[in-house]
Amino acid sequence: MKKIVVAIGVVWGVILFSSCTQKGPEDVVEKYYTHLCKGEFDKMQVYVADAHHSTLGLLDKLQTAEERKEMAKTKVEVSNVQCEISDTKAICSCLVKVDEATPLPEFLKLKKVNKTWLVDFDILLNDDLPIMEMDEDENEEY
């Protein structure tokens, strides 16, 4: 009986752990903008479709060591992330605040590849996904 309880516990642990490690589109949006604003192009590759890795590599090479140091200090806040999801595509909106600047509304397109959400710049906005509008009062919380 004890072995059965332990086995069930292990199975539930594996299920819970695996479900927690999968990133939803909201998490990808937050990580993407955080790394972008900090100039961490190498870290962005995990969240971007393979077709765009060479672009990120080029951007990374164009940065000087001094620019990297300075951008690493950037304080980034991503809030109000909302995604409209349609099977394997998503359009997400959020507010991005960099340092003490006013938060700006941003929009990002993602696609699901092998159960992983990735930023994809090639998806057209007219893919039958609704574009979400930010309420003006959402920007006033800062």
Q: Which residues pair with 90 in a beta bridge?
A: 85, 110
Q: Is the pLDDT of residue 17 over 90?
A: no
Model confidence band, residue 23 (pLDDT cutoffs 50, 70, 90):
confident
- For residue 13, the model assigns a pLDDT of 38
Distance (Å, whole) CA 73 – CA 18: 32
33-89: per-residue pLDDT in tens? 999 999 999 999 999 998 888 888 888 899 999 999 999 999 999 999 999 999 999
3-state per-residue secondary structure call for the chain: CHHHHHHHHHHHHHHHHHHHHCCCHHHHHHHHHHHHHCCCHHHHHHHECHHHHHHHHHHHHHCCHHHHHHHHCCCEEEEEEEEEEECCEEEEEEEEEECCCCCEEEEEEEEEECCEEEECCCCCCCCCCCCCCCCHHHHHHC
89-123: per-residue pLDDT in tens? 999 999 999 999 999 999 999 999 999 999 987 75
| CA of residue 100 relative to chain centroid, distance | 22
Chain position carrying tokens 């000087």: 64
- For residue 54, the model assigns a pLDDT of 86
Instruction: Please state, as a whole number, how many other Cβ atoms lie within 10 Å of the Cβ of residue 129.
Output: 18
Domains recognised in the chain with CATH numbers: 23-133 (3.10.450.50)
- For residue 121, the model assigns a pLDDT of 77
| Encoded tokens for 105 | 């509304």
Model confidence band, residue 135 (pLDDT cutoffs 50, 70, 90):
low
- For residue 100, the model assigns a pLDDT of 94
Among 58, 29, 27, smallest CA distance to 120 is for: 29
- For residue 94, the model assigns a pLDDT of 97
